[in-house]
Amino acid sequence: MTKDRVNERIGSRIRKYRKRIGMTQTELAKAVGYTSSGMMSQVENGLVGVEISKLQKIAKILGVHPGALITFEEFDDRSLAALMKFEHLLMAKPKPKYLDAILALIKDEENG
């Protein structure tokens, strides 16, 4: 997949989740730190890429996991919520006792 197609996919996902929460391009641009809504428009239209730090900030503002913006798979709301809960488990201090068991199950599943 070309860089342009990746930018288009990410941009369309950002637009989708932004509209879902009823936020304007101007509001999102300002929250992310862009100086104009024109830059957000270019991102959403796939004309320019978005820095990882900005992508993470956009995901947080939109209430989605960053993976939902960059993956090639579509996530429903339930899957997104589960992904975000799992990320919180991975980042928790101290780690929950059952986390190692969950990670072992995932590893077993990957190994077939």
10 and 63 in one domain? yes
For position 65, what pLDDT does the model report?
83
Distance, C-alpha 37 to centroid of its chain: 20
47 compared with 109, residue with greater pLDDT: 47
Q: Are residues 51 and 101 both part of a single domain?
A: no
Q: Is the pLDDT of residue 99 over 80?
A: no
User: Helix 3-20 and helix 25-32: axis angle, to 10°?
Assistant: 110
Residue 45 structural domain: 1-75
Under the banding of pLDDT at 50, 70 and 90, the label for residue 93 is confident
Same domain assignment for residues 107 and 52: no
**80 and 69 part of one domain:** no
Task: List, for residues 41-91, the tens digit of each pLDDT value.
Answer: 999 999 999 998 999 999 999 988 888 888 766 777 787 777 777 777 777
Place of tokens 């239209």: 45
